[in-house]
Amino acid sequence: MISPERLRLHPFFGDLTPDQLNALAMLADTVAYPKDTVIFQVGAPAKTIYLLEKGCVELYYESFDPVFKPELRRQYLIGEVNPGEVFGVSALIEPYKFTSVAATATPCQMVEIDAEKLRALSDNFPELMCVLSKQIIHTLMERLHYTRIQLAAERAP
């Protein structure tokens, strides 16, 4: 459990009511990761949503053909998560599987929130998922924009 005030400081959770923040804080813990730690892989069950407090996490898209050419596995940097940003939002979107690789670029401290319990919490607070969905969409649009910039830079002469 963490203090609700820590969550309130971050825009992703800024529109939640005090009761929602209190309930959400009960599902959260602080965790530290050393540099070069893989937090999750593509296709892994998404059971946690993360709020980065210190450090930097890089997100990668992984391209490979496990059947015909497994040796051609490549990772492409598609984004960077900085303090105050949320990642792992796939934990709140069906089919609840991660769509990227997340790895620490520096030592990191983050808040981890149990997404299964968060989804269950929406039974008590129906408007909670509506508020969080707006933030998830905003986060995904920012990541899409960043990915488009990366793609354009790759294709530039």
What ranges do the domains of the chain cover?
4-151
4-151: CATH class:
mainly beta
Averages of pLDDT over runs of 10 residues in the chain (157 residues) are 92 91 96 98 96 96 73 80 94 94 98 94 85 86 82 78
Separation between Cα atoms, residue 75 and residue 58, nearest integer Å: 11
**pLDDT given at position 63:** 76
SS3 89: helix
- Count how many Cα atoms sit within 13 Å of the Cα of residue 32 in the half-sphere of its side chain: 2
Separation between Cα atoms, residue 52 and residue 30, nearest integer Å: 10
Q: How many residues does the chain have?
A: 157
Q: For residue 143, what are its two tokens? A: 């990541």
Separation between Cα atoms, residue 60 and residue 57, nearest integer Å: 10
**pLDDT given at position 111:** 97
CA proximity to 109, closest of 79, 84, 132, 92: 84
CB 93 within 8 A of CB 136: yes
In this prediction the pTM is 0.85
